[in-house]
């Protein structure tokens, strides 16, 4: 009965600034060329977002159907130890031998970078889960951005193929880059993978435009 006395939750400044970006919603008819995207990737010590560690975050902005290399983001998270040593040959980050910043600071910098832009990634649900898990102890909140998974977008772009023929192995980043003639470099590096995914994203957008996908409403269903 006294719920009206409940104190309003007070957010840190970085989160207030982040939320302010969402005050004006984009109309569904906004052309894709007028949308801003942040293509990002995380490198982690394993594949369990609750137990494994966030190592690096890499991102690049895409606007006006172009990749803006001058507006990129990369941060390495300070590591005291990495429990899953089996992943070290993949991500190449060795405990106590790599400089970085505290995870909370890395998360906040990433939040400041993305604003309300649409976030894009290959199998993006995992990367979002890693960021959200890092946000939880800071303020128990989650990312608010609309998001696009390039693996799922590729399946939409190739929808004429039989679903039975769409094997998961055909929709890895390596397989998609090969299929769409994207030269691969800096694999298993967050910034490098983000850039490759950005190239893939633009190729897929081009394919989908031919099939009538022209605005925000068409792109995000």
User: Where in the chain are the domains?
Assistant: 30-219
Count of beta carbons in the 10 Å neighbourhood of residue 78: 14
DSSP three-state, residue 106: helix
pTM of the full structure: 0.87
pLDDT at 96: 47
- What is the per-residue pLDDT for 56? 96
Residues 46 and 184: their CA atoms lie apart, in Å, by 22
Percent of the chain at pLDDT exceeding 90: 73
Tell me how far apart the alpha carbons of residues 5 and 11 are, in angstroms, rounded to a whole number. 18
Tokens matching residue 14: 């970085």
Residue 37, SS3 per DSSP: strand
Residue 86: the pLDDT is 53
42, 131 Cβ separation under 8 angstroms: yes
Beta pairing partners, 38: 61, 119
How many Cβ atoms from other residues are within 10 Å of residue 166's Cβ?
Answer: 14
How far from chain centre, in Å, is Cα 100? 20
Ramachandran area for residue 36 (φ above 0: left; ψ -120 to 50: alpha; else beta): beta
Q: Quick one: pLDDT at residue 9?
A: 75
Q: How many CB atoms sit inside 10 A of residue 84's CB? A: 15
Which residues in the chain land under pLDDT 50? 1-2, 4-5, 87, 89-91, 96
DSSP state of 18: H
d(CA 54, CA 51): 10
Give which of 118, 98, 121 is closest to 25, Cα–Cα. 118
Predicted local confidence at residue 90, as pLDDT: 46
CA distance 39 to 22: 19
Q: What is the pLDDT of residues 150-200, one digit of tens each?
A: 999 999 998 756 666 678 899 999 999 999 999 987 676 899 999 999 999
CATH superfamily of 30-219: Ribonuclease H-like superfamily/Ribonuclease H (3.30.420.10)
∠ CA(209), CA(210), CA(214), 5° rounding?
Answer: 25
185's CB contacts (< 8 A; 6+ apart) are 192, 196
């Amino acid at each position: 009965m006294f719920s009206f006395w409940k104190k309003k939750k007070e957010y840190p400044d970085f989160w207030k600034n982040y939320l302010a970006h969402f005050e004006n919603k984009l109309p569904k008819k906004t052309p894709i060329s007028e949308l801003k995207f942040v293509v990002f990737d995380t490198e982690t010590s394993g594949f369990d977002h609750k137990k494994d560690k966030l190592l690096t975050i890499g991102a690049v902005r895409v606007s006006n159907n172009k990749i803006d290399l001058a507006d990129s983001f990369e941060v390495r998270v300070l590591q005291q130890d990495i429990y899953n040593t089996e992943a070290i040959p993949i991500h190449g980050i060795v405990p106590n031998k790599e400089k970085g910043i505290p995870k909370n600071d890395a998360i906040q910098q990433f939040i400041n970078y993305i604003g309300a832009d649409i976030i894009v990634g290959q199998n993006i649900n995992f990367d979002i889960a890693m960021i959200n898990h890092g946000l939880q102890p800071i303020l128990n909140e989650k990312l608010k951005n609309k998001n696009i998974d390039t693996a799922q977008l590729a399946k939409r772009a190739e929808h004429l193929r039989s679903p039975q023929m769409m094997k998961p192995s055909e929709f890895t980043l390596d397989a998609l880059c090969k299929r769409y003639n994207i030269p691969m470099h800096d694999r298993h590096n967050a910034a490098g993978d983000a850039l490759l995914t950005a190239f893939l994203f633009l190729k897929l957008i081009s394919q989908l435009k031919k099939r009538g996908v022209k605005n925000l409403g068409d792109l995000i269903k």
